[in-house]
Amino acid sequence: MTSPTLDTEALDRAVADLRENAGTWTATPLAERVELLERLLPRIADGAEDMVAACARAKGYAPDSPWAAEDWAGAPWALAQTTSAYLRVLRRIAAGREPLGARAVRERNGRTVVDVFPATGWDGLLLNGFTARVWTRPGTTAAGVRDRAARAYRGRPAEPGVALVLGAGNVAAITALDILHKLYVDGQVVLAKMNPVNAYLRPRFERVFGEFVLRGWLRFVDGGAAEGAHLAAHEGVDSIHVTGSERTHDAIVWGTDERAEERRRADTPLNTKPFSSELGGVSPCVVVPGPWSDADFRFQAEHIVTSKMNNSGHNCVASQILVLPRGWDGTERLLAEIRRVLRALPARTDYYPGADRRLAAVRTAHPEAEVHGEGDGRLLVPDISGVPDVSGTADSSGAPGLPGVPDSSDSSDSSGSSGVSGADDLDMLLTDEVFGSALGVVRLSGDTPDAFLREAVAFANRHLPGTLGATLLVHPRTEKDHRTSVEAAVADLRYGTIGVNCWSAIGFLLGYTPWGAHPGHTRRSIGSGVGFVHNAFMLAEEDIEKTVLRAPFAPAPRGLFTGSPSLSPRPPYFVTHRTGVTTLRRVTRFTAAPGLAKLPGVLASALRG
């Protein structure tokens, strides 16, 4: 964690600048904070093309490649959407209103829930049929949730402080969104250390956040593990946020010497600063048996492949384990469609450092793995054997799974392969976050949707490391006929974001939806991390349990016949979308500056996909 050649002068100067100006950010009036975000939006739009082009070049394809749709979604659009979300909430507060609408917080089945999306009429048009609801922790009251929301702007301001953000190397918007959260939710100025994998984004972020840099509220630095370690231990840094690996957290908190494990057991950390983190894991996609049509199989195969192949699988919530009913006659039909989609996708590489080693490890463990792309990528393991028995454990009780040690190019702040200590007898796809384009299939028993859901929930909770995100695909008629079981599954799955007919990663993009692991991890067993980011309504962290996303099971107009009516066509973030780049470019510009005149172009492009 240290380097004899480490030059600390620039790092120390950045910390000193931030400490000197931290109080001025705390004292900045709400009206001025709103104006800063209003001026931020056009800079996002102006720099969007250059940012996407840089991302595409770094991943090895052209900016007009169909793959670049993921860069529009995961870079400028995510940043514009989250900025707009903060703006909407802060404008409400500035106008003397509560951050949450009167009907947004309510009691439901003994729990307090908060409807957070759609938050505007534009949301309802652009993502028609998509909803998000935050489940608060048991015992939380509606009045308490409303009272604690956005408390820093309602008479309980934050103390000045310097936050260190150790940026992730995979998705461009992660670091930018963490910066916004620390500034606007936690009220701290920010030192952002770029990951070496995407340090090319630094000048682009410095332009977008130019006013914050000029005022001394934000500094960017480069470097790897040594620089990250120096800053984490710096006496001028008050809090730390990491997106990446469990190993990063443990190195900072417990050290890397021979006494690190002893410190962990005794709970005597080297670093006691407030720490928040988002650390990934092995994410499941659970498919409930039902009366699927041929079109349903095709559409959901595209959905599943998207959740794996977006960003070449270099996502902390990329679907790694597809959980299917062993006795369902649709299982093989779905796998056949998945193979078809994988083969039809344009060529690309798994660009993230170490991906080749991790995929080779999958091939070694599974010589039967199918390869559906060039090289060693797009692996499908259609039937993982040796799956732990979950029979008789369908109550899903037990401790959360814990992600293990990643294998990445920069241990200071990268995601990567992970493992679970003591789990050598389990298949590596069940214990290691591959962080690449490999999808494993687990087949579970259960003759009915009710029985299968009990088995699937118990399996995910007990045996898959990580609690960040899970996806559940269920036909509307199946859900109607088995509503109690579906609701129980959503309630029992211990994940910070659950997507019902919606890839859980969409929760990362919406701004209003808190993003983080399911509560329960500790610094001694950090798992998928602690704390929530994004969260534009600024719900109190101690109130949040999970976010539940919902989307139409089928696109318009076919959704009318499946029981999931909406105006949404095939989502533009699907890897199979023919006009995804054009659509998301237009959506980004619309989000940065909404207007009725822009809607026809957005909708026309989306419908052609």
Kindly list the distances between the CA atom of residue 289 and the CA atoms of 84, 413, 552, in Å, as whole numbers in the listed order.
39, 39, 17
Nearest to 126 by CA among 548, 582, 599: 599
Q: Which residue has the higher pLDDT, 144 or 410?
A: 144
Q: Give one word for 312, left, alpha or beta, with left for phi > 0 and alpha for psi -120 to 50.
A: left
Question: Within a 13 Å sphere around the CA of 475, how many CA atoms are in the beta-carbon half?
Answer: 19
pTM listed for this prediction: 0.94
- Residue 486 confidence class, pLDDT cut points 50, 70, 90: very high
Q: Distance from first CA to last CA of the chain, Å, rounded?
A: 48
Are 592 and 42 in contact by the 8 Å Cβ rule? The answer is yes
| Residue showing tokens 């087949």 | 443
Under the banding of pLDDT at 50, 70 and 90, the label for residue 254 is very high
pLDDT digits over 505-563, tens only? 999 999 999 999 999 999 999 999 999 999 999 999 999 999 999 999 999 999 998 99
**Residues 168-188: pLDDT tens digits?**
999 999 999 999 999 999 999
Residue 377's pLDDT is 83
pLDDT of residue 391: 63
pLDDT at 17 over 90: yes
Percent of the chain predicted with pLDDT > 90: 88
Residues 60-76: tens digit of each pLDDT? 999 999 999 999 999 99
Averaged over 78-102, what is the pLDDT? Answer: 97
* Residue 158 confidence (pLDDT) above 50: yes
Could you tell me the pLDDT band of residue 108, with boundaries at 50, 70 and 90? confident
Confidence band, pLDDT 50/70/90 cuts, at residue 398 = very low
More confident residue, 255 or 403: 255
Q: In a 3-state reduction of DSSP, which class is residue 469?
A: strand
Tens digit of each residue's pLDDT (9 = 90 or more) over 353-362: 999 999 999 9
Specify the pLDDT at position 6.
84
pLDDT at residue number 368:
95
Q: Do 539 and 147 form a contact (C-beta atoms < 8 A)?
A: no
Q: What is the pLDDT of residue 175?
A: 98
CA–CA dist 351, 251 (Å, integer): 26
Whether residue 400 is predicted with pLDDT greater than 60 in this model: the reply is: no
For range 24-46, the mean pLDDT? 98
SS3 content of the chain, % helix, strand, coil (to 5): 45, 15, 45
Distances 387 to 287, 321, 362, 452 between C-alpha atoms, Å: 17, 12, 16, 15
The reported pLDDT for the residue numbered 387 is 85
Instruction: Quick: pLDDT tens for 360-393.
Output: 999 999 999 999 987 768 999 999 988 877 764 4
User: Which residues are CB-contacts of 468 (< 8 A; sequence separation ≥ 6)?
Assistant: 278, 279, 280, 281, 283, 316, 317, 495, 496, 497, 504, 516, 517, 518, 528, 529
Asked if residue 131 lies in contact with residue 115, where contact means CB atoms within 8 angstroms, the answer is yes
What percent of the chain is predicted at pLDDT more than 70?
93
Quick one: pLDDT band at residue 444, thresholds 50, 70, 90? very high
Q: Decide if pLDDT at 419 tops 60.
A: no
β-strand partners of 190: 163, 218
The whole-number average pLDDT for the span 294-299 is: 98
Q: How many CB atoms lie within 10 A of CB 524?
A: 14
pLDDT at 420 over 60: no
Q: What DSSP character marks residue 282?
A: -
The mean pLDDT value for 1-7 works out to 60
Mean pLDDT of 195-214: 97
Q: Which of 254-258, 350-354, 403-407, 414-418 has the lowest mean pLDDT?
A: 403-407
Region for residue 388 given its phi and psi (left: phi exceeds 0; alpha: psi -120 to 50; beta: otherwise): beta
Q: What torsion do the CA atoms of 14, 16, 17, 22 make, to the nearest 10 degrees?
A: 120
Q: For all residues of the chain together, what is the average pLDDT? A: 92
Residue 89's pLDDT band, with cuts at 50, 70 and 90, is very high
